[in-house]
Amino acid sequence: MNKPFLAAAVLALTAPFIAGTASAQFFAKAEDAIKYRQGAFQMIKAHFSALQPVIKGQVPYDKARVAAEVSVLDVISTLPWAAFGPGTEGGGALEVVWSDTNGFKAAQDKFLASLKPLTAAAQEGDLNKLRAAFVNTGASCKACHDNFRK
């Protein structure tokens, strides 16, 4: 069994526990919440960026490795949101995150929804659909950064 597949399998089995922990996460200090969400976003960036060479045709397409990477992305994409509670202002987040909670939640939902076609394409093994879904997910990331990040 290859390492990416094993990592994805472990994450998939533990996802309910990880997501439950993150949604019930308490932070002693605002700095802890900021570090947590920044770390989660860095993990999202790393796993999303790992797909880019495949999308660009710079490395051979390997359906199992892509599916494993997207599976990890599905899990970690749920983590940062619990760390945006009241009193956690700061970091790279703009004040509008807290003043326009509905807009921020809509951007979050759009990002999470954009992962569904990416996941489906990765599981299906259709590189063209994967490319289109990757672009859509990237656009949802950019839109959120443009509106809610310094």
* pLDDT tens-digit profile, the chain (150 residues): 455 554 544 444 444 444 444 444 688 899 999 999 999 999 999 999 999 999 999 999 999 999 999 999 999 999 999 999 989 999 999 999 999 999 999 999 999 999 999 999 999 999 999 999 999 999 999 999 999 999
Residue 2 confidence (pLDDT) = 53
DSSP class of residue 149 equals: B
Residue 25 confidence (pLDDT) = 65
**51 half-sphere exposure, CB direction, 13 A CA radius:** 28
Residue 30 confidence (pLDDT) = 93
Q: What does the angle CA 86 – CA 97 – CA 132 come to, to the nearest 5 degrees?
A: 130
What is the distance between the alpha carbons of residues 22 and 27, in angstroms, rounded to a whole number? 11
Q: What is the pTM of this model?
A: 0.82
Radius of gyration of the chain from its Cα atoms, rounded to whole angstroms: 16
Residue 26 confidence (pLDDT) = 80
What is the distance between the alpha carbons of residues 46 and 54, in angstroms, rounded to a whole number? 14
Residue 59 confidence (pLDDT) = 96
Please name each of the domains of the chain with its CATH number: 3-148 (1.20.120.10)
